[in-house]
Amino acid sequence: MVLRILASILLLLSVFFAPFWVTVILALTSMAYFKFFIEAVFLLLLSDLLFGVKVGPSLSGDSTFTPVSFLVTLVCFIVIQLLKDKLRLEQH
Q: How far apart are CA 70 and CA 92, in angstroms?
A: 24
Q: What is the pLDDT along the chain (92 residues), one digit of tens a residue?
A: 899 999 999 999 999 999 989 999 999 999 988 989 999 999 999 998 888 777 666 666 666 667 788 888 999 999 998 888 776 655 55
Tell which residue, 76, 42, 69, 75, has the closest CA to residue 53. 69
Q: How far apart are CA 84 and CA 67, in angstroms?
A: 25
**Residues 52, 56, 58, 64, Cα dihedral to 10°:** 0
- The confidence score (pLDDT) of residue 31 equals 92
Which segments of 1-92 are extended strands (E)?
A: 54-57, 63-65
